[in-house]
Structures are given as C-alpha cells and as structure tokens.
Structure 1
Amino acid sequence: MGDIRQSLLPRDVLSAAKELLYHLDIYICNLLQSGRQPPQVDSKTLELVEEFIFHSPNDRNTPARRMSALQELQLLEIMCSCFQEQSRDTVRQLMFSALFNLQGNQADESRMSLLGKLVSMAVAVGRVPILECAATWLQRTHRVYCVRLAQVLVDDYCGMVPGSVSTLQNIHSASPRFCCQFITAVTMLYDLSSEDLTPPLELLQMIVSWIQDDPRLVLITFLNTPLSGSQPITSLDVTPLGGLVRWCIKAPLTYRRDKKPPLTNGSSDSVVEAGPLFSALHLSVLQVFMLLPTILNEKGLYGRLTLLQMESLAALTSDLSRLLDQADKHTHKSSADTHTSSQLALDRLAQALQVAMASGALLCSREDLRAICSRLPHNNLLQLVLSGPVMYYNNIHTPPLAFSPHAAHLPITTHPAHPTHPTHPTHSALPTHPAQTTITSHSSSHNQYPGQSFMTGMSFPFRPSH
C-alpha cells in the first residue's frame, strides 16, 4: 500500500482517511487470501494509518493535519459503516488491530481518543461488530488502557447525560463478550479506595441486573479463551469475579464512609440505595461461583485451575485490615453502625472464601488463608472457614494451573480417574452461629431484586446491609 501515499496527500483530511480505510479493507482481504500465516499488517501500512487517520506527521517537515469536530464525527460514522458492512469477522478483527493496537509511540494517544469515541458511538447505535472487535482488544491490551476505555464509557453514559445508562445497558444483549470485558475493566477502574474511585450507583445497579439476568455472563471470556499459550500479566483478569468480590467486601465500610446519595431512577417512588445493591451483587457472585464445579468438571480442570489468585486476596485482606482500623478510630461517632459494617465486611469475606473453595475457584491450603487473614479482627464465621471443615477439591497429583493473566498455561492433558478415597467419619454438628441462615433468596426487604435458586443445603450467614 506504500504507493498510495502520493494519491492521499492532495486530498482533504476526511477524504484521505476514508480512502485509506477502503484500501486497508482490500489489503487485508488480499492478505488473508494469500494464506500467509500468521496474517500480519506490514509496518508501511501501519505508518499510513498513523499519518492519515491519527495525523501523526510522517516526518518533521510535514505539517500536522487536524480534523474538525464535524469531520471527526463523519469519520466515526464511516468507520461504523465499514465494520458493519464487512461480513468476515477475521477481516474486521485484523482491521481493528491495524487501527487501534497500541504501538508505543506518539500516535497512541490519538488512537485511544478515537477508539473511545468509536466504541461509545457503537454502543449508542448498536454496532455489534465494533463491540466484538473491542472485546478482543480489551482481552489483548494492557489493563491501564482497558481501564481508560471503560472510563470513557462510564463518563459518557453514567455522567454526561442523565438517563443515558439505559443505552449502555443494551450491550448485555448486543455483545455479551464486550459486556463481560467491560465489567472486568470497571472493577479495576473502581477499587473503592476513595470517593472518586467508587462506582456510580447507576453503573452498580446495571451490573447487578446483568448478572442476575445471566450469571454465566461474567464467565464468557473464560469459557471462550483457549487454555493453552500464555496471557501477559498486564492484561485484564479472565473473569471479573475477583473485582466483584472486592467490591462486595469493601462496600460496607467505604459506602458508609462516603455516604453516597440514593439513586432515584427519575422517579420519587423508586429509590435505590447502595446497601441493598451490594447485598444483591454479593449473592449473585456467590451464585456464579456455584456454577463453576460443573463447568470445570466438563473441561477436566476441577482442582487444577484457580480463578481467584492468592495475590489479589492478600491485597484485599490488607485493604480490609486498613479500613477496619480506620473504622475503629471513629467508633465514638456511631459505635453500633461501625460494628455492624465491620462484621458484615468480614462475614462477606468468609462467605466468598468458603464458596470459592467449595466450587474449585480458589485452590489453597487453610494455612495460606490463615496467613493472609492474620491481621483481621476475630469474626465467628471467618474463624469457622479458617479452621473448620471446608469442602473443596485438592488434587495433590496435579499442580494447579493459575488461569489468569499471571502465569503461562501448558496444554491440558487428560488424566486417569483417581481412586475413590475412603469415607471419613462423620463430624459432629457444629453449634449454629447466631447470624447463620441459609441463602436461598434475597432478603424480603429487597424485593426489587428477584431471588434466584442457590446451592441447597449450604448455609452461610448472610446479612443484608441497610
């Protein structure tokens, strides 16, 4: 494509960009037809993209070209049409990569700016091919830039125009892959360490409704990711489960501190508060964990693959310890409220650990758990989880595969079935904890979040926050 540069130079900035997109489409189609493996766009073509679409000067003597706001909008519409009309997904993915894969140069800022606007427009007008390409981009790109893209969408749909969050909510049905990656990026964007890093209630309510409607949504990237090869440590986690667990556990302390106003949803009769939302989210996350044993067994990975990393859990317990210390310093203001919030956070941590271990999402020894929880204050349920009998699979014959962007993955091989272990004597029943109840549905005070079936016979102390 190097010979077309001279034909693009005399054109106006929009016409040149449009013409280059047309030639890029043809170039990639021919590249795939040639059978070259792997198909890779050459550096000369990438330089043309940077010069005529992102306006990075080809040399110091060439003046920088800039688009007006109207021309940029027209370019975005042209891109939307280009991806929509191209029927071959492979061509779309290569074209998206040629445009928006970061190269580590000065054009990257322009790439990120145009990418945010393109994906935001794709959400608004329902351009599924662009959302699917963006989902792949999120899976392959450094998490810092993934978080930046998520921030653009949150700003556009949860802050700029009141009521526009309903438009963003449609990506659940339009592109579940993008929706899953968006949730993962959002949980990294908001770590609840400050008011600015606390998710807006509109966003929180949307995520809760997504997971309640389809609990498997947060597992889509995991289910569609090959279990061989390696994923960079800098990429997003393969599921948002770790981030969602962090939200639920820290929320009783952080939202109480920030005193977020209720969400009205445009109606004085429909008021949603943070407490019930996080209670509903916590229950939904536990239900997602309970889907994992069947999925992991089908893949032959039960007991071999960990979706919750000990490093992230250690960081979470460290943050929780700090928040609890801060809460203790303010006990003179509201002693009962502080104690309730602290115990709720610890209860949720215990529940998450128990269910994650029972479902095979967390593979570790009880000694490891006691080590990372050693700085936390006493909590009855947490003490039971750390010392009492916990049902979880511990395959001593095969080392766990840390399936997250934190380790290289080896090809999965089929292992012979292990002999059945002898049945152990039945333990005597433990005394019932005062707060212990069986989770089968949401609290009656949270009727706006319909109950979902849960694992029968497993009891967890579940205390909704008010």
Structure 2
Amino acid sequence: MEGDKFTLTAQLNAATIQRFEKLLYSDGFPRCAIRLMSKLKDYVQDQASTVQQFVKIQQFKNNQTIESLIEKFIFQPCCKKKFVNVNHWFETTAMQQLQLFEILLTQFNDIQSSHISYCILDALFGISSSCNEVEEVKMSVLSRMVSMCIALNCVPVLNGAALWLEKCNTSDRQASLNIAEMLLADYCLLVPDLQQTLLDLCNCSPTFVAQLITAFTLLFDIKPGNSGSLDNNNYPRLPPISLMRIVAEWTVSNPHSFTVAKTTENLPHFYSSKTENDKMDCSEIHSTIYGLARWSTLVPLLYICRNEPANVKTIEEVHISCSKLQCGILQALSECSNHKEAEIPNKNSPPTLTISLNMMQEIAVDLQKCIQQVTTSSSSQNPDTDKLVEWSLNRLTQFVQVAFSANQLKFSLEEINNTMEALPKTRLWGTFIRLAKS
C-alpha cells in the first residue's frame, strides 16, 4: 500500500502529504493514530540509531509537517469539539480515548533507549498548540500516560520522560507541574495505598525520580508572601505529609541520583527551541537540592503556623520526615564530587548541586519570616516551638557546612556569614564559622 511506503524522513511535497492525510482520514480513529505513531517511531530511530548520532542532530527533518499530523490525527480526535478538515471530522468516545493510551504505551514497549523515548515524547508534547482545547488534551494525555507507566513499570517511557522533564523543569515548567500534580493526586491523595508504588520507582528509574522531585519542589516552592505576614491570602501551599515521606525515602535510598550532570543541553529539541533571550534562566534558582533544602528548613515552621498547637502528631510527623529528608540532602552533597556520568554526558556542565549566594539569601530571608511569624503568633504557645526553630536553623547550618566541605558553594565564607547575620545565632553556626576560618 502507498501508506506503508510513506516515510517522514523523505522529501515531502504538498501532494504527498495530502495523499497520506487522506489515507489517515480513511483509517479513522484509532487506526490513524496507530499508523502515525508507527511512522514517527521509525522516523526517530532512522535519524538517531545511536546516542553519538543523536546528539549531533541540529534539526529534525519535516518537523512542521509532523507537528501538524500529530495534532490532527492523535490529539484533535480526543477533543470534545469536532474539528472539520476537508469534509472529514473525528469525534471520539471515552473508550477511544483509553485506546490512545494503549497505542502510545504499545509504541514504547520495544524501545530500550531513553534518548529515543525522549525524542518521541518531545515530538508529541514538546510544543504548545495554538488551540487551547488541544493543549488541554495533550497535557491530560501526557500526565495520565506517565501515571500509567509508573503503575505498569514501563521503564523505557519513564527514562525518556526523565530527560524530557529535565528540559521542562528549566524551560516550560507548566508541563512538569501538570505531571507532578497528577501523580500527587493519583498516588498520594486519591489512593494512599499506592504510595509503595512510588517508593519502588526509585529502583526502576532513579533518573525519573530525580526530575520528579525537582517538579515537586517547583509545585511546592513554599515562599512566604512579600509582606512577611503568613495570613490566609499569601500562605504558601505546603507539600502533604504523605509526599514528604516519599521524597524523604527517595533521597535517603538514592542520594547520588541528584549529583548527575545536566544532560538536556546536549539533547536536540524536536521543534525549534526558544531564542537565547527567551530562554528561562531558572536552572540556578530551582535546582533539586535547593528546593529540598527549602523543604527541610521551612516546612516544619510553616506547619506550626498553619496548625493548631494541639495538633502535636502532625508536627511530629513533619519533623521526622524533614529530618530524614535532611539526611538524604547531606548524603547527596557529600557524594557530589563523585557524581555519576549521565547517559549522554556533558563535560562542560557542573554537578547540579552547586549552591549560589542568591539561593542562600532567599532561604535565609524566608526562614527569618517564618521565625518571626512563629514567635509572634498563637503557635508560640507550643512548648516545642523554640526547639523546632533551633532545629530549622541547625538544618540550614548543616546544609552550608557539608556544601562548603564538598566545594559546592559559589561564594566566600564572609558572604555567607553576612547573609546569615539577621538570623538567630546558634552554637552550631558559631562552631562552623570558627572551624572554617581556622
């Protein structure tokens, strides 16, 4: 058949594309999606059979044509609205939408290379649609597909998704936030019994876990309001205790996963990437280790502010989770000098744990706000308040101390001492400064 001979790598003219579209329309959904996904997989594997060949790609052939085909025959059929094109239209049922998940997962089954999986994901979801409804479908499909892959232990998809999430965490954050929100609902809130599935994820795809943690820290960035008052209008959204338990277990069981050098700078984008001026410079401000340090330092105090003093059990659970999380953070920092090479190494990229002065200034300012709120609110009646404040200060000190020992601080000892000047002094901080100067 003519459709079987059609390849996305060939020189495509308008007549050839029109004939292929006509064939896809005649297939109907879901057969058109199956045919197109098969062509897309062959296309990617033909252009990037090895990692070395893959990273040399400057631009994928016919990417605008592929973008149009994907939108017409994979995502538009799943929209509630009918899309009419040359007297053809699709309107799928709920069962057909489930078939789409099956089609996507089936195409990934025999792919063992994470860079091939990444490229297919980037082709499917790597560009925003001009149609809001199509964009909603794409984000819903992506989030649910990743959730299903976790449940079904589809490692090739998860490894590819790890590379794709790394790109999103430093560019199109909304996509990674959608995935994090969906997984939080599926595995922590709606069905708590599935939490063990998330815990086991660290064994099958540690790189995905590392990027998912970054997405969670972006979702719960826990920044107090600019006014310094933690009232109901500007109170930060806090990570659920169930999520904190899972993240703490991940960091302790696999701390070296956060020391992997960045890989996405080496990966080609299926579609034209943003210009240098448009790219988001958020790799420094929202690194994984920075987000986790904010959690272990700020979350216990924020829970005190939000909960009644009598809710001792909640505060205790938060403290235990943060202590375990702190242990994982310190392990990761201590191992960063021996970080593992990524699948696609970039020798020019530093380890992702490097701490900037700006990061420490933000944590110090926000910690000061939390301490002021805790000591001036009704929560100050809690007999453990002073102890929890001291523990938060000591966690920040431990973080700086281990990062300093591992040569992961991008600033001088004098600069960090000035940054911490406004915070209450602890014996641990004084000991650290004295020993560091000696």
TM-score, length-normalised on structure 2? 0.76
**Are residues 340 and 140 of structure 1, via their aligned partners in 2, closer, same or farther at CA, if it must alter by over 3 Å?**
same
Kindly indicate whether residue 159 of structure 2 is the aligned counterpart of residue 162 of structure 1: no
Checking the alignment, whether the CA contact within 8 Å between 1:184 and 1:237 is kept in structure 2 is no
Tell me the residue number matched to 2:288: 240
Of residues 274, 277, 280, the one that matches 2:321 is 277
Change (3 A) 1:17 1:303: closer
What amino acid sits opposite 1:339 in the alignment? Answer: D
What corresponds to 1:139 in structure 2?
166
* Contact 1:131-1:178 within 8 A present in 2 as well: yes
Of the structure 1 ranges 139-148 and 52-61, higher mean CA displacement relative to structure 2 is found in 52-61
CA gap 1:300/1:62 in 2 versus in 1, 3 angstroms: closer
Check if 1:84 corresponds to 2:142.
no
Structure 1: any 5+ residue segments left out of the alignment? 265-270, 392-426, 428-466
Match of 1:122 among 119, 125, 149: 149
Name 1:52's counterpart in structure 2: 73
Residue 388 of structure 1 corresponds to which residue in structure 2?
434
User: 2 CA distance for matches of 1:51 and 1:368?
Assistant: 55
Tell me which residue corresponds to 1:207. 247
TM superposition shift of 1:103: 3.2
* Whole-angstrom distance in 1 between the partners of 2:211 and 2:423: 32
1:331–1:155 CA distance, 2 compared to 1 (3 A): closer
- Label 1:278 to 1:381 Cα distance change in 2 as closer, same or farther (>3 A): same
Number of matched pairs: 381
Task: Please state if 1:148 is matched with 2:178.
Answer: yes
Are the equivalent residues in 1 in contact too, given 2:259–2:352 (CA < 8 A)?
A: no
Q: Offset of 1:200 from its aligned partner?
A: 2.1
Contact 1:201 1:263 in 2 (8 A): no
Q: Equivalents in 1 of 2:75, 2:264: separation in Å?
A: 31
User: Structure 2 counterpart of 1:144, which letter?
Assistant: Q
Residues 262 and 17 of structure 1, relative CA distance in 2, 3 Å threshold: farther
Which residues of 2 match residues 368-383 of structure 1 at below 5 A? Answer: 368-383=415-430
Partner of 1:187: 217
Does the alignment pair 1:103 with 2:103? no
1:71 aligns with 2:91: no
Once residues 5 and 118 of structure 1 are traced to their aligned partners in structure 2, the CA distance between those partners, rounded to angstroms, is 26
Contact 1:204 1:277 in 2 (8 A): yes
Q: Counterparts of 2:152 and 2:209 in 1: how far apart (Å)?
A: 16
Identify unmatched segments of 5+ residues in structure 2.
1-7, 9-16, 224-233, 269-275, 341-345
CA 1:235 to 1:134, structure 2 compared with 1: closer, same or farther past 3 Å? farther
SS in structure 2 at match of 1:326 = helix
Q: Secondary structure at the match of 1:351?
A: helix
Q: Tell me how far 1:338 sits from its aligned partner.
A: 2.4
Aligned equivalent of 1:353: 400
Distance in 2 separating the partners of 1:282 and 1:61 = 60
1:217 aligned partner: 257
Matching residue's letter, 1:369? I
Amino acid of the structure 2 residue aligned with 1:146: S
- In the alignment, residue 425 of structure 2 is paired with which amino acid? H
Counterpart CA distance in 1 for 2:349 and 2:114 is 33
For residues 15-39 of structure 1, the C-alpha deviation after alignment (integer angstroms, 9 at most, x for no partner) is: 2212211222233344447x89435
Counterpart among 294, 299, 303 of residue 255 in structure 1: 303
- Determine the structure 2 residue equivalent to 1:15: 31
Give the deviation of 1:81 after TM superposition.
Answer: 1.2
- Using the TM superposition, give the Cα deviation of residue 174 of structure 1 relative to its aligned residue in structure 2, in angstroms: 1.2
Q: Which amino acid aligns with 1:255?
A: Y
Q: In structure 1, which of residues 287, 298, 302 is the aligned counterpart of residue 331 of structure 2?
A: 287
Q: How many Å apart are 1:233 and its aligned residue?
A: 1.7
2:44 aligns with one of 24, 28, 52: 28
CA 1:196 to 1:318, structure 2 compared with 1: closer, same or farther past 3 Å? closer
Q: CA offsets, 1:317-369, max 9 Å, x none?
A: 11111111111212685164322222221121122112211211112123322
Cα RMSD, aligned residues only: 3.6
Are 2:167 and 2:264, in contact at CA under 8 Å, matched by a contact in 1?
A: no
Structure 2 counterpart of 1:13, one-letter code: F
Q: Give the C-alpha shift of residue 239 in structure 1.
A: 5.0
Q: Kindly provide the amino acid, as one letter, of the partner of residue 24 in structure 1.
A: L
CA contact (8 A) 2:44 2:116 kept: yes
Change (3 A) 1:136 1:262: farther
Equivalent residue in structure 2 for 1:112, among 139, 142, 153: 139
Q: CA deviation at 1:259?
A: 3.7
Cα gap change, 1:47 to 1:276, in 2 (>3 Å): same
What letter is aligned with 1:54?
F
One-letter identity of the residue aligned with 1:388: R
